[in-house]
Amino acid sequence: MKVLFIGMGYVGTTTGLVLAEHGHTVTGFDIDQKKIDSLNQGNVYFYEPGLQKILSSHLNKNVFFTTNLKKAVEQNDLIFITVGTPSLANGSADLSYVKDAAKMIGKYINSEKTVVLKSTVPIGTTEKVQKWIEEAAQNNSPVKTVMNPEFLREGSALEDALHPDRIVIGTHDRKAANQLRMLYQNWSCPVIETTPKAAEMIKYASNSFLAAKISFINEMAKLCDKLQVNIQDVAHGMGLDPRIGPHFLKAGLGYGGSCFPKDVKELIYTADSWESPLEILNKVEEINRNQGGYFIEKIKKKLGSLKGKKAALFGLAFKPHTDDTRESVSYLIMERLLKEHAEIKVHDPVVELSSDWTNQGVKQFKDPYKAAKSADVILICTDWPEYEELDWAKVRQLVGSPNIFDGRNAMNSSNIKKLGFYYEGIGYF
């Protein structure tokens, strides 16, 4: 099938490339000329494992990129909207990019089209998109809309797109539903057909539930800190119950990224505006917001004042295998450390610190051993596998004082302690 993607972020790029891998012909549009130039040169401009290879094998065969939307809309009858929906100051999702995309489709529509929303959008948006396209249309070409939420995790987006747990098709139109079933015919997972509103809600409820699992385990971890109980054992014991499941029970510094924080906020906003407040999600958010501060307090309890202390911070990305730093707790921790007048040295395998930070005296090192040199404390903020694999005996020789605070419970604590380090995770020792 011929498919157009409007918005070449990680969702549009990953989904488009995976559809190409399954034999479809994909055109990717973005208003950002730089992104399109980079993709046209065969370079995925963000860090996402595996995508580069797929791009190289399909570029200019069945994958094309353009900034000419008129031509792209005219030549494709199946159009995906994969633009961003960032948070506005009041917590609601900013739909301006979705609206712009809908209006542009309306402007160029020349024949019957199926428009599929993959961006995460508030309940009722798919119906609005239909209206926005029809209002902008200069002819009577029929348009059908579908909500088809994405469940891709950054860092493993390719794997998730190739092997999804489910495909959700939210539409009132039989023909559009069948078109999507055809598009996804090679996938073997369950396919759910429902209304657009239910499909929108499935996405928000899924992300909010996962965020709630994280805040739940983090709350337990804080109690475990007091009781000297290992949260990893608790999570393992809980997760073996299939009603609970083992996933998203990893205690630590909480969730960041471009999805959970914004989606939880948006659902809270929607619930408030319908006068049906989601108390549980308010708490989920509050717990998450306080996790960085809790971590700093733990460090201060052990080391006393951080003034003049050398802190080596490992990990800037909001999670491993991505260069995304949106809502990454590492930055909040850096802010707190600067306020405490600590000296900060950072390392991340892929993220580069901006001048906003280096101008404040934060130093970045490409080599984690150099970052650790003379440190009074090492803070692990992102669970990159690289950190677990470091030669910690060597690090022990390099540091000024052997203190490790592991915000992701990523280390094997007993091995680390055997080397003479003082070690504290979150609910993990």
Minimum gap (Å) between residue 308 Cβ and ligand UGA: 30
Q: Is 90 helix (H, G, I), strand (E, B) or coil?
A: coil
Q: Give the residue from 237, 209, 211 showing the smallest Cα distance to 224.
A: 237
Q: Which of the ranges 106-114, 206-214, 220-228, 398-406 carries the binding residues for ligand UGA, by CB under 6 A?
A: 206-214
Residues between 100 and 129 with contacts to ligand UGA, criterion CB under 6 A: 120
Q: Which is nearer to ligand UGA, 74 or 323 (CB)?
A: 323
Q: Give the span between the Cα atoms of 343 and 334, in whole angstroms.
A: 10
Instruction: Please select the residue that binds ligand UGA; options are 106, 252, 407, 427, rule is CB under 6 A.
Output: 252
Among residue numbers 153 through 182, which ones bind ligand UGA (CB under 6 A)?
153-154
**Which amino acid type is present at position 189?**
C
Largest distance between two CA atoms of the chain = 74
Interface with ligand UGA, residue 39, by CB under 6 A: no
When asked if residue 207 is in the footprint of ligand UGA (CB under 6 A), the reply is yes
Query: Is the CB of 266 or the CB of 424 nearer to ligand UGA?
Result: 266
Establish whether 381 is a catalytic residue: no
| The one among 150, 225, 343, 406 contacting ligand UGA by CB under 6 A | 150
Contact in structure between 109 and 143 (CB atoms under 8 Å): yes
Among 39, 69, 180, 214, binds ligand UGA (CB under 6 A): 214
Residue placing its CB nearer to ligand UGA in the complex, 63 or 214: 214
Select the span of 22-30, 121-129, 137-145, 244-252 touching ligand UGA (CB under 6 A): 244-252
Residue (153 or 396) nearer to ligand UGA, CB: 153
Based on its alpha-carbon atoms, the radius of gyration of the chain, rounded to whole angstroms, reads: 23
Among 4, 169, 259, 362, binds ligand UGA (CB under 6 A): 259
**Both tokens assigned to 218:** 């983090």
| Site size with ligand UGA, rule: CB under 6 A | 21
- Of positions 64, 65, 80, 260, contacts ligand UGA by CB under 6 A: 260
Judged by beta carbon, residue 109 or residue 199, the one nearer ligand UGA is 199
Residue 112: partners with Cβ closer than 8 Å, 6 or more residues away: 77, 141, 142, 143, 144
- The region of 55-63, 84-92, 121-129, 145-153 touching ligand UGA under the rule CB under 6 A is 145-153
Select from 81-89, 242-250, 397-405, 414-422 the region that touches ligand UGA (CB under 6 A). 242-250
Query: Cα(81)–Cα(121) distance, rounded to whole angstroms?
Result: 11
Distance CA 84, CA 118 (A): 10
CB 353 within 8 A of CB 364: yes
DSSP string, 128-171: HHHHHHHHH-SS---EEEEE----PPTTSHHHHHHS-S-EEEE-
In our burial notation (b when 16+ CB lie closer than 10 A, e otherwise), range 11-36 reads: bbbbbbbbbbbbebbbbbbbbeeebb
Per-residue CA distances from 356 to 60, 166, 362 (Å):
39, 42, 9
What's the closest the beta carbon of residue 98 comes to ligand UGA, in angstroms? 15
Rounded to the nearest whole angstrom, what is the least distance from the CB of residue 257 to ligand UGA in the complex? 4
Closer to ligand UGA by Cβ: residue 3 or 157? 157
Residues near ligand UGA, by CB under 6 A: 120, 150-154, 207, 210, 214, 248-250, 252, 254-257, 259-260, 318-319
Which residues are annotated as catalytic?
A: 259
